[in-house]
Amino acid sequence: MPRNSKGFYGPRYEEGPRRKTGGEDLVPRRVAAGLAHSPGVREVDLRDDFSGLVKRKLAERVGFVCSNPDCEASTMGPSSRDAMTMNVGVAGHITAASPKGPRYNGKLTTRQRKAFRNGIWLCEVCGKIVDADESAHSVRQLLTWKQRAEHLARTRLGVPKANSHFHLLPNDQTMYINVRRFQELAQRDHLQINAGPLKENAPLLNMEGLVGYVMENERALKTLYPEALLFDRLKTKTDLENSRGQLISFVGKFRSKNAPRLRNGRVPIIHPTGNINKDHVAYKNYNSIRLVLPLDSLWYASQSAVAFFRGLSRIAVRGLARVHSVTSKVIVASPIWLALPGRVAHPFAHVAKGAGFDFALPVSPNRPTEGHFKK
């Protein structure tokens, strides 16, 4: 590569005569480091900033949403001026662009610091927090944020908002509510859940006014409207790995196993131990993957739910859960809400019945899956 007019290789330094300011020569930082004791030489702070193309790719790959999982603020929208947009996002460096920056890695080359792999898209607030509190935001954590944000953006593609948020349909019957987990979920959105009637280690079935309490939580769920990954859209191994720790929603027919024996006609209080081969679980096979839901006897919301989850036949379930562990064949998720999907009259029910089919609503709100028409 030819030398430029300043005697340095490459196009990084501009052509032209030497510039002087206040009698001091302006030279690149890398050269100034070797001339620190030379009079009249001052260092110029050169940052390895991203190009416009890299910034745009960082933003587009997460859908212009902040990559911080506790934020996820939208960063692009319309301006008050017609046909103009407003951006409140920043392309942050995972390892710093200059030696004095946070998480600087001197082993990286200039090209590596300016590369897409070294960037993460954040809102302006989170961008400042990440750099100001370096000890709380490691390189590994930021890379995890970036990977998760890109995964969520991909799973949201082509999914209507109503199908990416868990909600109950009018005729659904709530069978199971892990109230403690539901409270934690609500608190993240600053929504308070009434925990007054709950007693320590006492099942919901023993609560006075249980029906009213369940209805109160159903109203809270409608207000919360939690966003969750549709489990049947997780197709690849990467999708499944990235679902760890995330909320998932699902609809389908589940089987139950290891149900405890009743004691004096009541369900004994047995908590999950983490051993899915011995715990009472509900499970469903999705091709080569089994979704397993460990059940805690504290959170049955009705007596009929006890009968449903003790039976040997498959039961239809609409549910919300948080993924706990992922292996090549089994995904274990802690259920937060399980409901029995209601059967609703369909405009073409009489046509199907006349053709000799037993018509039932599809168990999925998006598209039919298994067992919708039975000859």
Q: Provide the pLDDT for residue 65.
A: 93
- Provide Rg for the chain, Cα atoms: 28
Kindly report the number of other CB atoms within 10 A of residue 249's CB atom.
22
Q: Provide the pLDDT for residue 361.
A: 39
- Its sign, for the CA torsion 58, 62, 64, 67, is negative
Tokens 């999914």 correspond to 159
Structure tokens at 366: 């998006």
Distance CA 173, CA 191 (A): 23
The residue among 266, 248, 268 whose CA lies nearest residue 258 is: 268
- DSSP for residue 122: E
Segment holding 52, helix H or strand E: helix 52-60
HEC sequence for 20-47: EECCEEEEEHHHHHHHCCCCCEEEECCC
Kindly report the number of other CB atoms within 10 A of residue 202's CB atom.
12
Query: Is residue 317 within 8 Å of residue 311, measured between CB atoms?
Result: no
Query: Is residue 142 within 8 Å of residue 130, measured between CB atoms?
Result: yes
Q: Provide the pLDDT for residue 311.
A: 74
The residue among 189, 256, 261 whose CA lies nearest residue 225 is: 189
The residue among 57, 232, 50 whose CA lies nearest residue 146 is: 57
Q: Provide the pLDDT for residue 236.
A: 81
Beta pairing class for 85-87 and 76-78: antiparallel
Distance CA 64, CA 118 (A): 17
Per DSSP, the three-state class of 253 is: strand
Per DSSP, the three-state class of 268 is: coil
Q: Provide the pLDDT for residue 143.
A: 93
∠ CA 185-227-292 to the nearest 5 degrees? 75
Q: Provide the pLDDT for residue 203.
A: 87
The residue among 374, 312, 369 whose CA lies nearest residue 341 is: 369
Helix 179-188 to helix 210-224 angle, to the nearest 10 degrees?
A: 30
Q: Provide the pLDDT for residue 161.
A: 60
Query: Which residues of the chain are modeled with pLDDT < 50?
Result: 1-38, 41-44, 344-375
